[in-house]
C-alpha cells in the first residue's frame, strides 16, 4: 500500500491501479446515484457532481481524495471544483469506473435494477393507463387523475424535480447503502 501524509504532494491524476493502492484515501464517485447503484468501486462513496459544492463538507481534508466518474470527464470537472474550494489533496482517477473495472479491481454491483428514470416512465404510464381504464369503466372522474399525472410530468420536466422519482428512490430495491452514499 502507498501511504500519503499531509506534507506529501498528491499527483493531480492517478491510474485506477495506483488509486487502489493509495492507503487511507477517500474514493469519491461523482456519478448519479443510479449509475453508482448499478456498479461502483468497492471503497467508493457517492456524492453526485450536481451536489458537490453543497456536500463538500463531507469530504475529508486530512487525507487524499481520489475522484472518479464513469470515464473521466465529470471527475476532472469535480477535481477542479474541489480545488477551487481550496482543497489541494485531490487526484482524478483516469478512465473512471470503466478503467477501474477493466483493471479487475474490486467492484460492487447491484443486479437487475431498472434505472430510476425508466421506473418513473413505467409508473407514470401505468398510472395514466389505469386511471383511463377506470374512467371508462367505473367513473369519469378518474380521467381527471390521468390528466393530473400528465400535468405532474410536464411540471417535473419544467422544474427538474420529480416527486415520483424521490418516492421510487426510497423503495428497498433502489436504496444505495447509506455508507456508500456518504451519509
| Cα–Cα distance measured from residue 114 to residue 119, given in angstroms and rounded to the nearest whole number | 6
> Is residue 25 within 8 Å of residue 63, measured between CB atoms?
yes
Burial call 130-164: b when 16+ CB within 10 Å, e when fewer: ebbebbeeeeeebeebbeebeeebeebeeeeebeb
Backbone angles phi, psi at 29, to 5 degrees: -105, 120
Give the CB-side neighbour count of residue 158, counting CA atoms within 13 A. Answer: 6
- Cα–Cα distance for residue pair 29/44, rounded to 1 Å: 6
Q: Are 54 and 16 in contact (CB under 8 A)?
A: no
Q: Does residue 20 have an active-site annotation?
A: no
Catalytic residue among 20, 22, 46, 69: 69
Q: Active-site positions?
A: 69
Amino acid at each position: 500500500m502507498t501511504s500519503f501524509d499531509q506534507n506529501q504532494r498528491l499527483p493531480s491524476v492517478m491510474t485506477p491501479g495506483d488509486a487502489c493502492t493509495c492507503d487511507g484515501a477517500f474514493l469519491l464517485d461523482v456519478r448519479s446515484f443510479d449509475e453508482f447503484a448499478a456498479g461502483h468501486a468497492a471503497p467508493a462513496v457517492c456524492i453526485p457532481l450536481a451536489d458537490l459544492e453543497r456536500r463538500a463538507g463531507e469530504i475529508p481534508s486530512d487525507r487524499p481524495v481520489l475522484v472518479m466518474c464513469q470515464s473521466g470527464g465529470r471527475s476532472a470537472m469535480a477535481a477542479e471544483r474541489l480545488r477551487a474550494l481550496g482543497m489541494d489533496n485531490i487526484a482524478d482517477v483516469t478512465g473512471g469506473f470503466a478503467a477501474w473495472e477493466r483493471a479487475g479491481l474490486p467492484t460492487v454491483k447491484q443486479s437487475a435494477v431498472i434505472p430510476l428514470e425508466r421506473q418513473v416512465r413505467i409508473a407514470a404510464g401505468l398510472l395514466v393507463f389505469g386511471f383511463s381504464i377506470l374512467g371508462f369503466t367505473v367513473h369519469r372522474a378518474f380521467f381527471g387523475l390521468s390528466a393530473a399525472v400528465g400535468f405532474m410530468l410536464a411540471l417535473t420536466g419544467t422544474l427538474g424535480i420529480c416527486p415520483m422519482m424521490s418516492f421510487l428512490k426510497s423503495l428497498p430495491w433502489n436504496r444505495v447503502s447509506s455508507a456508500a452514499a456518504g451519509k
